C-alpha cells in the first residue's frame, strides 16, 4: 500500500505496506547425483536426451540463493535462478513458493496468485502458500477471500508475521480496530524490528484518532527505517492532526516542501481549521507549480465547505 503523498478532498488513502518479500525456509530437498555416460558408452551408442538421467529433485542450494536474492531485493538475480530450477522441475514446491514470492516482490500479485494456488493442498507448504495467496488476493482487492486464506495460514503456523500484518490491513479497512490492533501486535511480537509493521500499526492508530499512540508507534518505525518516505509522511500527518503544524513541517526540504504543505493543509481542513488550511494550500502552490492542480482542488473544496456552513448558519 502506498503513502498518501498528494492528499486531496477524496478520502485519504490507507498508508500501509503489505510485506511481499520472501522468508527463507528451513525445509531442504536432497538432490540425487547426476549419472554420466562412460567413454565406452559414448563410443558404442550415440546419446539421446532420453538417455540422460536428471536428479530426482531440484537443487536446494539454487533455491536458497533465489530466496536470498528476493529478500535482498535482487529480483533479476532471483528470476534467473528460478528460471533455471523451474525449467527442469516445474512442479518443485519450494521452487514454486519462491516463484510466487518473487512475483509479489515484483508487484505482480495477479501472476503470483496461481503459483501459490498450486501449493494450497501441499501439507508441507500450505501455510506459506495460504499466506502468499491471501496477500495476493488482498492486493488485487478480493479482501474477504484474502482474509479466509490468511486465517488459514496463521492457524497452520502462528509465526507467519506477514499474514498477521496483512490481516491487520484487512481489519483496518473494516474499521474493526480491536482485531486490527491484535493482528499488528501479533506480527510485532514475532518480528519487532520490522519498520513497515510498526508503520501500519501507527497508521491504524492514526485512523482511530489515537494520536499520541500513533505518534509513538510511528516514531519507532522511523527509528527502524529513517529513510522511509512513507513513515515520514505518516508522522507528519499525525502531528498535523494534533494541530502541531510547525512540527509536522519541520525538516522539510525544498523537494518535498509543496507536497508536505498540501498534505498538512488537507489535515487542517479535516480538523475544520479552514484559515490554516487555506494558507498551506496557497503556500504549496507557490512552492511548486506541479501542485497547483491538487492544491487548487483542495482550495475549491474548502471554499465550498465555507459556503455551505455560511448558508447553514443563515438558516438557523
**Considering the domain boundaries, does residue 197 fall inside one?**
no
- Nearest in space to 224 (alpha carbons), one of 201, 197, 245, 244: 197
Beta-carbon contacts of residue 138 (< 8 Å; ≥ 6 apart): 18, 146, 147, 150, 166, 169, 170
Judge whether residue 277 has pLDDT over 60.
yes
The answer to whether residues 204 and 168 touch, using CB atoms and an 8 Å cutoff, is yes
**Considering the domain boundaries, does residue 6 fall inside one?**
no
Q: Which one of 111, 141, 157 terminates a domain?
A: 157
**Please, which pLDDT band fits residue 38 given cuts at 50, 70 and 90?**
very low
The answer to whether residues 136 and 148 touch, using CB atoms and an 8 Å cutoff, is no
How many domains are there within the chain? 2
**Considering the domain boundaries, does residue 3 fall inside one?**
no
**Considering the domain boundaries, does residue 162 fall inside one?**
no
Tell me the whole-structure pTM to 2 decimals: 0.80
CA atoms within 13 A of residue 54's CA, in its CB half-sphere: 9
**Considering the domain boundaries, does residue 190 fall inside one?**
no
**Which cell goes with 126?**
500450505
Using CA atoms, how far residue 257 sits from 125, 179, 239, 252, in Å, is 47, 36, 16, 6
The domain that holds 295 is classified in CATH as 1.25.40
**Which cell goes with 194?**
520490522
**Please, which pLDDT band fits residue 16 given cuts at 50, 70 and 90?**
low
Torsion over CA of 17, 184, 241 and 303, rounded to 10 degrees? 50
Please compute the mean of the pLDDT values over residues 133-139 and round it to a whole number. Answer: 97
**Considering the domain boundaries, does residue 270 fall inside one?**
yes
**Considering the domain boundaries, does residue 127 fall inside one?**
yes
pLDDT the model gives residue 37: 40
Secondary-structure breakdown of the chain: helix, strand, coil percentages, each rounded to the nearest 5: 70, 0, 30
The domain that holds 138 is classified in CATH as 1.25.40.10
Q: Which residue has the higher pLDDT, 26 or 145?
A: 145
Q: 306 is in which domain, residue-wise?
A: 247-316
pLDDT the model gives residue 255: 86
> How far apart (Å, rounded) are the C-alpha atoms in residues 43 and 37?
10
pLDDT in tens, 79-126: 999 999 999 999 999 999 999 999 999 999 999 999 999 999 999 999
Beta-carbon contacts of residue 156 (< 8 Å; ≥ 6 apart): 126, 127, 130
**Please, which pLDDT band fits residue 33 given cuts at 50, 70 and 90?**
very low
**Please, which pLDDT band fits residue 8 given cuts at 50, 70 and 90?**
low
Alpha-helix runs per DSSP H in 141-256? 143-156, 161-173, 177-190, 195-207, 211-224, 229-241, 245-249
Amino acid at each position: 500500500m502506498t503513502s498518501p503523498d498528494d492528499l486531496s478532498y477524496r478520502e485519504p488513502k490507507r498508508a500501509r505496506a503489505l510485506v511481499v518479500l520472501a522468508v527463507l525456509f528451513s525445509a531442504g530437498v536432497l538432490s540425487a547425483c547426476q549419472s554420466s555416460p562412460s567413454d565406452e558408452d559414448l563410443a558404442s551408442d550415440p546419446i539421446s536426451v532420453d538417455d540422460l538421467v536428471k536428479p530426482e529433485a531440484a537443487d536446494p542450494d539454487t533455491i536458497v540463493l533465489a530466496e536470498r536474492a528476493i529478500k535482498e531485493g535482487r529480483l533479476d538475480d532471483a528470476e534467473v535462478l528460478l528460471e533455471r530450477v523451474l525449467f527442469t522441475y516445474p512442479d518443485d514446491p519450494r521452487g514454486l513458493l519462491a516463484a510466487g514470492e518473487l512475483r509479489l516482490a515484483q508487484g505482480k500479485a495477479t501472476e503470483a496468485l496461481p503459483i501459490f494456488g498450486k501449493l494450497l493442498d501441499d501439507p508441507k507448504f500450505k501455510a506459506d502458500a495460504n499466506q502468499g495467496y491471501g496477500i495476493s488476493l488482498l492486493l488485487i482487492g478480493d479482501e474477504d477471500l484474502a482474509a479466509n486464506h490468511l486465517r488459514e495460514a496463521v492457524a497452520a503456523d502462528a509465526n507467519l508475521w506477514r499474514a498477521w500484518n496483512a490481516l491487520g490491513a484487512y481489519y483496518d479497512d473494516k474499521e474493526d480496530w480491536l482485531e486490527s490492533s491484535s493482528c499488528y501486535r501479533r506480527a510485532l511480537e514475532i518480528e519487532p524490528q520490522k519498520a513497515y509493521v510498526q508503520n501500519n500499526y501507527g497508521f491504524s492508530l492514526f485512523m482511530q484518532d489515537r494520536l499520541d499512540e500513533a505518534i509513538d508507534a510511528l516514531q519507532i518505525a522511523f527509528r527502524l527505517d529513517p529513510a522511509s518516505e512513507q513513515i515520514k509522511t505518516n508522522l507528519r500527518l499525525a502531528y498535523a492532526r494534533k494541530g502541531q503544524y510547525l512540527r509536522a513541517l519541520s525538516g522539510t526540504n525544498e523537494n518535498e516542501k509543496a507536497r508536505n504543505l498540501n498534505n498538512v493543509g488537507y489535515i487542517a481542513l479535516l480538523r475544520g481549521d479552514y484559515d490554516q488550511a487555506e494558507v498551506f494550500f496557497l503556500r504549496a502552490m507557490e512552492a511548486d507549480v506541479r501542485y497547483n492542480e491538487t492544491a487548487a482542488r483542495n482550495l475549491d473544496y474548502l471554499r465550498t465547505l465555507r459556503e455551505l456552513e455560511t448558508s447553514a448558519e443563515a438558516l438557523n
